[in-house]
Amino acid sequence: MSEKIRLALVGCGGMAGAHLEAYGEIKRKGLDFFDIVGVCDPAEDRAREFARRIAGFQASPAATVYSSLEEMLSKERLHAVDTGSPHHLHHVIACTCLEAGLDVLVEKPLGVTVRAGWKMVRTAERTGRILATAEQVRRWIGPRTVAWAIRHGELSGRPRFFLAHSCHGPKEPQVEVEVKSPTWRQDKLQGGGGMIIDGGVHYADFLITCYGEPDTLFATCGNFNRSYVTRPDGSRLLLDCPDTAIGHLRFKNGVAGTWVWTGASPGRPTSFTVHYGDEGSVYAEGGYPMMPEFHRRDRSVLPAEDLRRQYLASLSEDERARLFPPQLFPDPQSLRGDHGVELEVHDFLCCVRDRRRPEVDGLDGLKAQAVSEAYLESSYLNRSVSVEEVLSGKVRAYQEEIDGRWGL
C-alpha cells in the first residue's frame, strides 16, 4: 500500500483506550504510515474523548466522531478497523466491516461463542480481508522467553508437565458477594462466560505457543463467591458467570498440566506458573510469567535477566526485528510491563500495509477461545471434552443459550 492507512476505532471503552495509547506511542516514535480518521461509539461523549486524545498525537487529519457504524462506513474512506466493543458485538462489527472490504483487528476473545468466531473467520476467508485477533500476552518478552525455554531442548530437555495457578479472593467479611455496579462482562449472554473467556484466552493462547495443539480438558467451573446483584425490588439475582475455573489440560504431544484461575480463594492468594522439563523448570511468580527464571536439576538458578539474555541471543537478526521491531523497542532486554498492545497493533498495521498474515489471525484467536470454552463445556456436561469437538461445534451445550440470543 503506497498511501497512508486510514484507520477507524469502533468502540471507545476500556481496552480500546489501551489500543489508542499504543497507536499514539507508535506515532510518537516516528512511524507515521497511518492515520486514525474515525472513532465510533453509541456513547458519543466517549468517542469525542477519543477524538480529543487523538488530536494530542495526530495534528491532522482530525478524527471524525460517529455514533453509528453504518454512518461511518458510508461517509469515511477506510482501509481498516480496530474494534474493542463488548464481546457480543464482535461478530456483528467485524463481519459488517469485512463485508465492506476492510481489514479488521478484534480485541480478544474473538467472539462471544465459537459460532460467532467461525462466522468472522469464514467471512474473512470469503471476502479476502485480514482478520486479526488482538493478543498481547504471547508478545511480552517474559512469555516469549518461557516458550523458547520449553522448546529449547538443550536447556530444559523434554517437556514433562506444567502448573499454572492464579488464585485470589474477596476481602469482604460476608461470604456472598454483592456486585454493586455490574457490567456486560458479568452477563453470560453479553460476555460469553466470565473471566475464563474474557481473560483466559490470553493464557490459552500462550500455552498453545508453548506446547502446540491442545487435546482434551476436564474442568470444574463455578460461582463460588455466590456473587449477586440486587434487583430494584430488593431481591437477589445470582450471577450466571463463573468466578472459578479449575482444569486438567492435555496436549497432543502428551504434555499435561493443571490450570487454575479463580477470584474466589479467600485468605492467602497464590499466583505462579511453572513448566517442568527433564533438565529443570521454568518458574515465574504472578498470573503471567513476566520474569521467568530457570531452575536446574541441581537446584542452581539461572536468573530472569540471564535467561532473557540467552533467549534474545538465540534469535536471528530477522527474528528479533520481527518480534521486537527496533523502531519500537531498540533494547528488548530492558522491556518491562505490558508492551504487547503496542506490538499487536503495530503488527496489524504492517499486515494491512504489506498484505501479509498477522501473527495471531482470526483462526488462531478462535483456537485459543475453544480452550476456554472447553472449560465451560466440560464443567456444564460434567465430563472430559476434546478441544477439537468444541472448536468444531459438536459440543456447545453451555454456549447454546448465547448462540440463541444472538441468532448464531
How does pLDDT run across 236-254, given as a tens digit for each residue?
888 888 999 999 999 999 9
C-alpha torsion sign, points 68, 69, 72, 74: negative
* Listed residue (382, 381, 380, 343) closest to 31, CA to CA: 343
260 and 179 assigned to the same domain: yes
* Listed residue (376, 387, 389, 155) closest to 252, CA to CA: 387
- Average pLDDT for the chain: 95
Give the pLDDT of residue 387.
98
Residue 9, domain member (yes or no): yes
Residue 11, domain member (yes or no): yes
pLDDT for residue 394 is more than 80? yes
119 and 149 assigned to the same domain: no
Count Cβ atoms within 10 A of the Cβ of residue 338 and give its class: 0-12 exposed, 13-18 middle, 19 or more buried. Answer: middle
| Residue 67, CA atoms < 13 Å, CB-side half-sphere | 5
Q: What is the DSSP letter of 354?
A: H
- Domain CATH code at residue 108: 3.40.50.720
219 and 150 assigned to the same domain: yes
Domain end among 117, 137, 157: 137
H or E segment at 69? helix 69-75
142 and 254 assigned to the same domain: yes
List, for residues 28-62, the tens digit of each pLDDT value.
999 999 999 999 999 999 999 999 999 999 989 99
131 and 10 assigned to the same domain: yes
Residue 405, domain member (yes or no): no
Domain end among 333, 367, 391: 333
* Listed residue (79, 78, 22) closest to 325, CA to CA: 22
279 and 220 assigned to the same domain: yes
Assigned C-alpha cell, 150: 520449553
The residue range of the domain holding 44 is 5-137
Give the pLDDT of residue 170.
81
Residue 404, domain member (yes or no): no
pLDDT for residue 185 is more than 90? no
* Listed residue (151, 156, 143) closest to 276, CA to CA: 156
d(CA 313, CA 327): 19
147 and 99 assigned to the same domain: no
Find the angle CA(241)-CA(243)-CA(245) to the nearest 5 degrees: 105
Q: Predicted confidence band at 186 (pLDDT cuts at 50, 70, 90)?
A: confident
Give the pLDDT of residue 377.
98
Number of structural domains in the chain:
2
Residue 63, domain member (yes or no): yes
132 and 149 assigned to the same domain: no
Give the pLDDT of residue 155.
92
Give the pLDDT of residue 236.
85
Torsion region of 250: left, alpha or beta (phi above 0 gives left; psi -120 to 50 gives alpha)? beta
pLDDT for residue 2 is more than 80? no
110 and 142 assigned to the same domain: no
Q: Predicted confidence band at 172 (pLDDT cuts at 50, 70, 90)?
A: confident
Residue 293, domain member (yes or no): yes
34 three-state secondary structure: strand
Domain end among 137, 159, 179: 137
219 and 117 assigned to the same domain: no
C-alpha torsion sign, points 375, 347, 136, 24: negative
List, for residues 336-352, the tens digit of each pLDDT value.
888 999 999 999 999 99
d(CA 218, CA 256): 11
249 and 296 assigned to the same domain: yes
- Domain CATH code at residue 255: 3.30.360.10
Residue 248, domain member (yes or no): yes
Residue 344, domain member (yes or no): no
168 and 287 assigned to the same domain: yes
